[in-house]
Amino acid sequence: MRSTEPPRLAIIGGGPAGLMAAEAACALGVAVDVFDAMGSVGRKFLVAGKGGLNLTHSEPFAPFVARYASRSVEVATWLERFGADDLRAWSRALGIETFVGSSGRVFPHDLKAAPLLRRWLQRLRGDGVAFHVRRRWLGFDDGGGLRFDTPDGPARVVADAVVLALGGASWPVLGSDGAWVPELERLGVDVAPLRPANCGFDVGWSAHLRARFAGAPVKPVALDWQGDGERWHRQGELVVSEHGLEGSLVYAVSARLREAIAREGQATIHLDLAPSRDAARLLGDLSRPRGARTLSEHLRRHAGIEGVKSALLHEIVPREQRDDPHALARAIKALPIVLRHPRPLAEAISTAGGVRLEALDDGLMLRARPGVFCVGEMLDWEAPTGGYLLTAAMASGRIAGAAAARHLRAGHRGIATRT
């Protein structure tokens, strides 16, 4: 490319982080090409918004950044530059107003992802961003060129800098399959192993429970976990799956449970199946004469326990304890469930692990590979659901896109792929 031509930035991955990087770089006068392996960009964004696009969260800044746990200090620096309020203002500028739900989560007024994505892409195309779909990135060649697999065969693209926005490995059907890991490791990039985040766990139910209750929601319920010097307790809902447990309440503590299983081989949680009744009242209710009624009918009448909750008690509590009101009350208030394994990464909502943040500078450029930036879920951070994932991913894209543009406008051209 002749030096008289404007610098050109290639962005690999058309998810929210990549699109935000494109927007930021284009605003600073850099020509941008976005490449995506799928037939259209933003597919994961659309899928995530099917049940209502949770754009961000209304929490104050301090508790908001605490959601990023061990990476809260680093992610806080991203959110100081582009946080939840900025994201809502950005959406408003696209003509999409937002509202705060009862849980504090922030949604578009129509709850849909498609109108926002459509307006966003229209604006990006109007600003000159070029999109290239069905281009699966294979890595760098020895000259710093980008290698792609396309419907017409192998292709090579030369760019002055690149932003990698390749996602984690939790949505392989949408292109986020982690196939980029070996290529970056080949280049000497420090990559933490990819692991499931916001995931379900294996329990090992009986065939009866799987056949009758797989997919059944358990609510209301409180989950309690103690380990490694801390206690986690929250009320909400979860789902009995074919393999074990999943759902929002499980996802919220999944990082702690995953690490506990890695350390100890398993993790035990306790479920309070009657969170609205204290132990004394529950014992009194269960101590009433049963008469000729079955235990299931007795539980339904006097403890409000039925359906899947009753099935969980029969699954876990030995028969002799089920006939003892004291033992049964204790089990209802603290039913022990042993979790044996996280579900596979491909089933998880998001990914932990990835390019370690220590390998990047403040603009998210690889220290050892000038001209190569990394953003979004392929970085080594994680967060619970609730808008935190999307907010940080988009913030990282905005930071890297602007940093890449400044890098190019300073006269740096060419991608370093050799030490």
pLDDT in tens, 303-319: 899 999 999 999 999 99
Helix orientation angle between 308-316 and 295-303, rounded to the nearest 10 degrees: 120
What band does 37 get if pLDDT is binned at 50, 70 and 90?
very high
Q: Which one-letter DSSP state was computed for residue 26?
A: H
Average pLDDT, the chain: 94
Q: What is the pLDDT of residues 232-260, one digit of tens each?
A: 999 999 999 999 999 999 999 999 999 99
Q: What is the pLDDT of residues 142-155, one digit of tens each?
A: 888 999 999 999 99
Q: What is the pLDDT of residues 54-66, one digit of tens each?
A: 999 999 999 999 9
Residue 418 in this model has a pLDDT that exceeds 80: no
Q: Are residues 322 and 377 in the same domain?
A: no
Flag whether 187 is in a domain.
yes
Q: Are residues 141 and 208 in the same domain?
A: no
Q: Are residues 273 and 394 in the same domain?
A: no
Flag whether 1 is in a domain.
no
Flag whether 48 is in a domain.
yes
Q: Are residues 182 and 319 in the same domain?
A: no
Identify the sign of the CA torsion 407, 412, 413, 415.
negative
**Which of 322, 342, 362 finishes a domain?**
342
Question: What's the total number of domains in the chain?
Answer: 2
| Residue matched to tokens 């326990």 | 305
Flag whether 415 is in a domain.
no
Q: Are residues 86 and 233 in the same domain?
A: no
Flag whether 3 is in a domain.
no
Q: What is the pLDDT of residues 117-163, one digit of tens each?
A: 999 999 999 999 999 999 999 999 988 899 999 999 999 999 999 99
Flag whether 258 is in a domain.
yes
**Which of 312, 342, 372 finishes a domain?**
342
Q: Are residues 174 and 211 in the same domain?
A: no
Flag whether 419 is in a domain.
no
Q: Are residues 136 and 36 in the same domain?
A: yes
Residue type, 184: L
Instruction: Please give the average per-residue pLDDT across 220-227, as a whole number.
Output: 96
Q: Are residues 363 and 290 in the same domain?
A: no
The answer to whether the beta carbons of residues 233 and 222 sit under 8 Å apart is: yes
| Residue matched to tokens 């392996």 | 37
Q: Are residues 159 and 213 in the same domain?
A: no
Instruction: Please give the average per-residue pLDDT across 285-300, as a whole number.
Output: 88
Flag whether 233 is in a domain.
yes
Name residues whose C-beta falls within 8 Å of residue 337's C-beta, 6 or more positions apart in sequence: 203, 245, 268, 269, 270, 271, 316
Angle value at C-alpha 88, between 86 and 89, nearest 5 degrees: 65
Q: Are residues 103 and 208 in the same domain?
A: no
CATH of the domain at 394: 3.50.50.60
**Which of 342, 373, 398 finishes a domain?**
342
Domain that holds residue 329: 201-342
Q: Are residues 53 and 188 in the same domain?
A: yes
Q: Which one-letter DSSP state was computed for residue 198?
A: S
